[in-house]
């Protein structure tokens, strides 16, 4: 989510990132103010899950203009933050999606610390063994393992289709991006994508693999992306509408 207004560029040397806090709607959120030589306007963004704010500003902008910008858009922030999904804590009894299917978390402490998938008369289960304090981490580790197993197969499939190779594949827990591709050919994915339906997982991998050939979001890139994943438009829309809820789940 972003808003902004245009202003003239100046060209002093960019300053370091400024980090502070900003109060809005009864919440105190971390705020990053980042100067960019390419910025032509102030841009305000809410991080996925509503856990922070970021303002990108043109070089040389006076601090007072940033404060006025925040004041003018306080109502906008309050309205958007009111729509941000709640942040459910991973714990026994709640349901989290695995490949798009809600699984109820069941804690069985008597066995060793493993995670297994099962089913009862109420539907799919995610059974977590071991001490209760380690339950969130064990579920996160389970999603990481599933991501590594499934995504690596999809990377092989799509790279073979375009005649390119990925130099490395990494898995992260990012708050604002689901994936990335560097000019060196390194691919990164958020392991949280394993909570999305399989077609969306496939779309994300196809999207990042397409960047191995087209390092942009131009027409050629989207044509290649749609060739690899015919459901590109539908899956991109699903991630836009539902991704914030997946990012909001707390694994701590």
Work out the mean pLDDT of the chain and round it to a whole number: 88
> Confidence class of residue 99 from pLDDT cuts 50, 70 and 90?
very high
Burial (0-12, 13-18, 19+ Cβ within 10 Å), 183:
exposed
The per-residue pLDDT for 49 is 65
Q: What is the per-residue pLDDT across 10-68, written as a single tens digit (0 to 9) for each? A: 444 445 578 888 888 777 788 999 999 888 899 998 886 677 899 999 998 888 899 99
The per-residue pLDDT for 16 is 55
Q: What is the per-residue pLDDT across 158-217, written as a single tens digit (0 to 9) for each? A: 999 999 999 999 999 987 789 999 999 999 999 999 999 999 999 999 999 999 999 999
The per-residue pLDDT for 14 is 45
Distance CA 98, CA 105 (A): 11
Q: Mean of the pLDDT values across residues 126-139?
A: 94
Which sequence spans correspond to the domains of the chain?
Answer: 2-83, 95-248
- Give me the residue label for tokens 């695995």: 98
Distance of CA 189 to the CA centre of its chain: 9
CATH code of the region 95-248:
3.30.2010.10
Query: Longest Cα pair distance anywhere in the chain, in angstroms?
Result: 65
Distance CA 126, CA 115 (A): 7
What pTM value is reported for the model? 0.71
- Check pLDDT > 90 for residue 248: no
- Check pLDDT > 60 for residue 146: yes
Burial (0-12, 13-18, 19+ Cβ within 10 Å), 202:
buried
Choice among 11-15, 82-86, 87-91, 208-212 with the minimum mean pLDDT: 11-15
- Check pLDDT > 70 for residue 1: no
Secondary structure of 98-136 in HEC code, one letter for each residue: ECCEEEEEEEECCCCCCEEEEEECCEEEEEEECCHHHHH
């Amino acid at each position: 989510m972003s808003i902004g207004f245009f202003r003239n560029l100046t060209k002093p040397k960019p300053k370091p990132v400024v980090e502070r806090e900003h109060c809005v709607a009864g919440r105190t959120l971390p705020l990053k103010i980042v100067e960019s030589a390419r910025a032509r306007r102030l841009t305000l963004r809410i991080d996925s899950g509503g856990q922070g704010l970021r303002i990108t500003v043109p070089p040389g902008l006076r601090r007072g203009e940033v404060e006025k910008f925040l004041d003018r858009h306080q109502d906008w922030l309050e309205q958007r933050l009111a729509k941000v999904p709640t942040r459910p804590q991973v714990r026994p009894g709640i349901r989290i999606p695995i490949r798009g299917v809600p699984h109820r978390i069941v804690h069985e402490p008597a066995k060793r610390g493993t995670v297994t998938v099962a089913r009862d008369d109420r539907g799919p289960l995610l059974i977590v063994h071991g001490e209760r304090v380690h339950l969130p981490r064990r579920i996160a580790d389970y999603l990481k393992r599933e991501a590594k197993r499934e995504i690596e197969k999809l990377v092989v499939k799509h790279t073979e289709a375009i005649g390119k190779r990925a130099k490395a594949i990494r898995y992260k827990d990012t708050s604002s991006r689901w994936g990335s591709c560097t000019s060196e050919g390194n691919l990164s994915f958020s392991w949280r994508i394993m909570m999305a339906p399989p077609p969306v997982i496939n779309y994300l991998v196809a999207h990042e693999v397409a960047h191995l050939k087209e390092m942009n979001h131009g027409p050629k890139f989207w044509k290649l992306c749609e060739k690899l994943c015919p459901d590109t438009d539908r899956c991109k829309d699903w991630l836009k509408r539902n991704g914030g809820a997946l990012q909001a789940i707390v694994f701590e």
